[in-house]
Structure 1
Amino acid sequence: MADHVASDAESSRRDRTKTSATRKRDAAVKDKAKKPGFFAGIFLFFKQVIDEMKKVTYPTGSETWTYFVVVVVFVAAIMLFAGLLDFGFGKLSALVFG
């Protein structure tokens, strides 16, 4: 651990420049990893899909029913709200342009 904590003023005076120049793109180390073949890539994809599907936790029957009821009630409430707005604006436009 550091025994000395730098203050804000002291840390702003500290030299933060790089120690060396940034290397050029051509000089950067190229990753020469061999890419899998076409069929090996397809096999790898399905293997990864199966591995991920093993991690999935599915809801129970009661949880699914609860989610279904929540969605239906929410959609009904939004439909009622939109219908009331439509009815109100229809009456208002009939009064104005009537």
Structure 2
Amino acid sequence: MSMSVNASDGGADGISRAKTPSSKARKPASKPNLFARILTFFKQVVTELKKVVTPSRNEWGTYIIVVLVFVIAVMAYVGVLDFLFGKLMFWAFAR
């Protein structure tokens, strides 16, 4: 009354499953030649680039302001951390 799992009995649940051919046994679909694939790639790139919408002048201004504010905030944060760690190191090692 052992519950061993063999490949022939289908598993522990007792359901036998039909064997399917492995992925190596299947024939791969024939690929188009290299130049056709490259041409297809560039056609898809052009199609995707046609979907791109250029931001308006107003949106550009908004994006620039958002980026500058974020950069200034990160610079201030790193500057404060640098100052605090500098003071901490001076206090720890300057005695």
Point out the more displaced range, 46-55 or 87-96.
Answer: 87-96
CA–CA separation in structure 2 for the residues paired with 1:31 and 1:44:
20
- Distance in 2 between the 1:89 and 1:17 partners? 65
Determine the C-alpha separation between the residues in 2 that align with 1:26 and 1:92: 62
Counterpart in the other structure of 1:58 = 54
CA distance in 2, matches of 1:27, 1:89: 59
Which residue does the alignment assign to 2:75? Answer: 79
Question: Alpha-carbon deviation of 1:27?
Answer: 8.9
Higher helix fraction (1 or 2): 1
Structure 1 length-normalised TM: 0.66
Aligned to 1:46: 42
Q: Give the structure 2 partner of residue 23 of structure 1.
A: 20
Relative contact order (alpha carbons < 8 A, sep ≥ 6): 1 or 2 greater?
2
Provide TM-score, normalisation by structure 2: 0.68
In structure 1, runs of 5+ residues without a counterpart are: 1-15
RMSD, matched Cα: 2.5
Identity of aligned residues (%): 45
For structure 2, list consecutive stretches of 5 or more residues without a partner in the other structure.
Answer: 1-12
Which amino acid counterpart does residue 81 of structure 1 have in structure 2?
Answer: Y
Partner letter of residue 36 of structure 2? A
CA offset at residue 63 of structure 1? 0.9
Once the two structures are TM-superposed, the CA of residue 37 in structure 1 deviates from its matched residue by: 1.8
> What does residue 88 of structure 2 align with?
92
